[in-house]
Copies of this chain bind each other. A is one copy, B any other.
Amino acid sequence: MKEDYKNIKVIGFDADDTLWVNETYFRDAEVAFAKLLAQYETLNKIDQELFKMEMKNLPLYGYGVKGFILSMVEMALELSNNNVSNRAIQAILDIGKDMINKPVELLEGVETVLKTLSNNYRLILATKGDLLDQERKLEKSGLIDYFHHIEVLSDKQELNYSKLLNRLDVKPSEFLMIGNSLKSDILPLVNIKAHAIHVPFHTTWTHEQVDESETNGKTYRTVSSLLDILPLFN
């Protein structure tokens, strides 16, 4: 085992785009949304405006599909100057329900990695999505038995993680976080002296992107697939 992991007791896994596909469904939803409103604006403009609306509503609605649907409805009213049809509003609600009902598509190596690591570590799922949504996905995924429990964080900043470690009663040196988002799963952990392994996903939400300067001099590992984590623990 790599020397720096010898004190690890608890491993936190991000859920969306670390264990299973998620961002892809949001991108698909955005395309469907833009098509609904194509008579009012270009697809590109609609995309940009929807992102702004999501950011405006984020403090109020938080993360997750429900806030996203509400932002789409509000955007449709605004972009159309209150001329959008009831059918389009219904279609937006349907896009949202479809997203919630999507099957869970596991990423490569997930089951092997969880099975192996759960023999020696307490695994938790640490997500900022909606609790019910994440419980449902975990249920569908068949991975539930590998996890001790789910921790939903309203945000994934340093303070949220510090409180989490407190709750779990582990020191930063005893905690490893594994996830696809530098902003949410990696940098805050590095900053509080916990461990972090970055497993990039091919698509990253604009809100989660970070400048290269933010990662300069930070100590964390990057692997190209979850399976590459196992050799680190041999």
Q: Give the B-binding residues of A (Cβ under 8 A).
A: 60-62, 66-67, 69-70, 73-74, 77, 80, 82-87, 89-90, 93, 96-97, 100-101, 130-133, 135, 148-149, 152-154, 163, 166-167
Q: Bound state CA distance, A152 and B100, in angstroms? A: 19
| A70 adjacent to B66 (CB under 8 Å) | yes
Sample 27 A-B pairs with CB under 8 A, ordered by A number: A60-B97, A61-B100, A61-B132, A62-B130, A62-B131, A62-B132, A62-B133, A66-B67, A66-B70, A70-B93, A70-B96, A74-B93, A77-B93, A80-B86, A82-B85, A82-B86, A82-B87, A82-B90, A83-B86, A89-B89, A131-B154, A132-B154, A135-B154, A148-B167, A149-B163, A149-B166, A149-B167
| Most chain B beta carbons < 10 A, residue from A73, A133, A148 | A73
User: A60 to chain B: which residues have CB within 8 Å?
Assistant: 97, 100-101
Nearest 6 Cβ contacts at the A-B interface: A62-B132, A82-B86, A66-B66, A132-B154, A131-B154, A135-B154
- Which chain B residue shows the least CB distance to A74? B93
| B87 adjacent to A86 (CB under 8 Å) | no
CB distance from A91 to the nearest CB of B (A): 11
Q: Bound state CA distance, A133 and B130, in angstroms? A: 12
**Among B67, B73, B153, contact of A89 (Cβ-Cβ < 8 Å):** B73
